């Protein structure tokens, strides 16, 4: 879909990629096959976002609550993620994608930490699209971590309580330079945030679709962007 088709293109789109397991179950496949298909869907959306001129795309890949899933599924998810980094890093670099990660990254396996550090460094100077991957991420934990960091600065006399503002708080988030999402998409029919970008989403537009994530293709992305384009954003004003 050509960029000028829409009245407006969101600067930042965030996606809760939900439904991999249900997609696999519907097809009589193991859950892991759904995650593999989910990687392919993510690749398509990244390419489309870059072509349309979206500047930031955040993908909720693995929540901090997902650590509670069966260990064999968690291990497979990280082996799949490690494989994806190896397969697609050159393509991301070639297409001008800058990759950043946010979450409790210290909890990740050592090889994953090394892989994401390398990919972040290799793509640091790219500027066509910033791809943010939320990995081992939980918004409540992010808010607690930011609060602790601010409290420490107050206790050490670096700032006073009166210095604490919304902007102060924002500067202590995992990626303070990341603009708030204009549009948050959730697939699979669920209608909740699931601990995703709670602080940043105060005025985000929301789009829910029953389509399972592996089936979320260019046409489905187009529907979400067209819906966003037809909305009037007031930010609490008239």
Nearest to 5 by CA among 177, 230, 238: 230
**CA trace torsion 191, 141, 127, 8 (10° rounding):** 30
Q: Domains plus CATH for the chain?
A: 3-138+183-229 (3.40.1180.10)
The pTM of this model reads: 0.95
Catalytic residue among 66, 215, 222, 227: 66
Nearest to 193 by CA among 31, 7, 16, 10: 16
Please indicate whether residue 66 is annotated as part of the active site. yes
Crossing angle of helices 31-52 and 218-229, rounded to 10°:
50
**What is the C-alpha to C-alpha distance for residues 206 and 15, in angstroms, rounded to an integer?**
10
pLDDT, residue 6, reads 66
Please indicate whether residue 90 is annotated as part of the active site. no
Catalytic residue among 4, 7, 18, 126: 18
Q: How far is CA 125 from the centre of its chain?
A: 20
pLDDT, residue 234, reads 85
pLDDT, residue 235, reads 85
**Mean pLDDT per segment of 10 residues, for the chain of length 238 residues?**
67 98 96 96 96 97 96 94 92 96 97 96 96 98 98 98 97 98 98 98 98 97 95 83
pLDDT, residue 2, reads 46
């Amino acid at each position: 879909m050509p960029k000028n088709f829409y009245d407006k293109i969101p600067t930042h789109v965030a996606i809760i990629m939900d439904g991999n397991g249900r997609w696999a179950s519907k097809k009589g496949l193991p859950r892991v096959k759904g995650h593999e298909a989910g990687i392919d869907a993510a690749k398509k959306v990244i390419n489309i976002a870059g072509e349309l001129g979206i500047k930031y795309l955040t993908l909720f890949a693995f929540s901090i609550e997902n650590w509670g899933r069966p260990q064999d599924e968690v291990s497979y998810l990280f082996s799949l993620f490690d494989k994806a980094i190896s397969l697609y890093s050159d393509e991301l670099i070639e297409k001008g994608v800058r990759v950043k990660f946010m979450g409790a990254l210290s909890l990740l396996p050592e090889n994953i930490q090394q892989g994401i550090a390398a990919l972040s460094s290799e793509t640091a100077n790219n500027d066509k699209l910033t791809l943010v991957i939320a990995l081992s991420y939980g918004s409540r934990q992010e808010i607690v971590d930011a609060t602790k960091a601010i409290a420490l600065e107050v206790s050490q006399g670096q700032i006073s309580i009166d210095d604490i503002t919304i902007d102060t708080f924002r500067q202590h988030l995992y990626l303070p330079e990341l603009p708030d999402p204009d549009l948050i998409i959730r697939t699979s029919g669920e209608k909740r945030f699931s601990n995703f970008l709670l602080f940043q989403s105060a005025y985000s537009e929301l789009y829910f679709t029953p389509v399972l994530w592996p089936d979320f293709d260019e046409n489905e992305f187009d529907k979400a962007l067209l819906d966003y384009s037809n909305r009037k954003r007031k930010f609490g004003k008239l």
